[in-house]
């Protein structure tokens, strides 16, 4: 089956620093990747949609200058949380839509970000 990985699985950083999270589709090409944020005991909130080679589309209320997304290849998208603050602490999950199969998003295992 289609596998999506995320790295790192968890990261702790100091307030004011930037953190990069990678999302990779391991055995398929993904023209579209999605970034979600999940607060404790709550649902997934879509942050942005990224398409390979073009700028990401951000959902309303998501600061594009704070959450930088780059989708440089058909197998890799990155999310950089810039100047992180404690309120950015959350579980970030990516998903990918395959080139060959548009009917299902495949989810990564998530990245737990803790900002001190």
The residues that touch other proteins, with contacts defined as CB under 8 A, are 4, 6, 32, 41-44, 49, 93, 95, 97, 102-105, 107-110
Residue among 40 and 65 whose Cβ is closer to other proteins: 40
Which residues sit opposite 21 in a β-bridge? 79
Residue among 40 and 86 whose Cβ is closer to other proteins: 40
Give the burial class of 100: count Cβ atoms within 10 A of its Cβ; 0-12 exposed, 13-18 middle, 19 or more buried. Answer: exposed
E-assigned strand segments in 10-115: 10-13, 19-25, 30-38, 44-51, 57-58, 67-73, 76-81, 90-98, 105-107, 111-115
Residue among 32 and 90 whose Cβ is closer to other proteins: 32
CB of 86 to other proteins, least distance (A): 21
CB of 84 to other proteins, least distance (A): 21
CB of 36 to other proteins, least distance (A): 8
């Amino acid at each position: 089956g289609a596998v999506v990985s995320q790295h790192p699985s968890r990261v702790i950083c100091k307030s004011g620093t930037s953190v990069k999270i990678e999302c990779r589709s391991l055995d398929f090409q993904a023209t579209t990747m999605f970034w979600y944020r999940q607060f404790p005991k709550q649902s997934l909130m879509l942050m942005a949609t990224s398409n390979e080679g073009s700028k990401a589309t951000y959902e309303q209320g998501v600061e594009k200058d704070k959450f930088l997304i780059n989708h440089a290849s058909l197998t890799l998208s990155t999310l950089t949380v810039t100047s992180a603050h404690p309120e950015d602490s959350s579980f970030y999950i990516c998903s990918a839509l395959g080139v060959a199969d548009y009917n299902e998003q495949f989810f990564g295992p998530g990245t737990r970000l803790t900002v001190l």
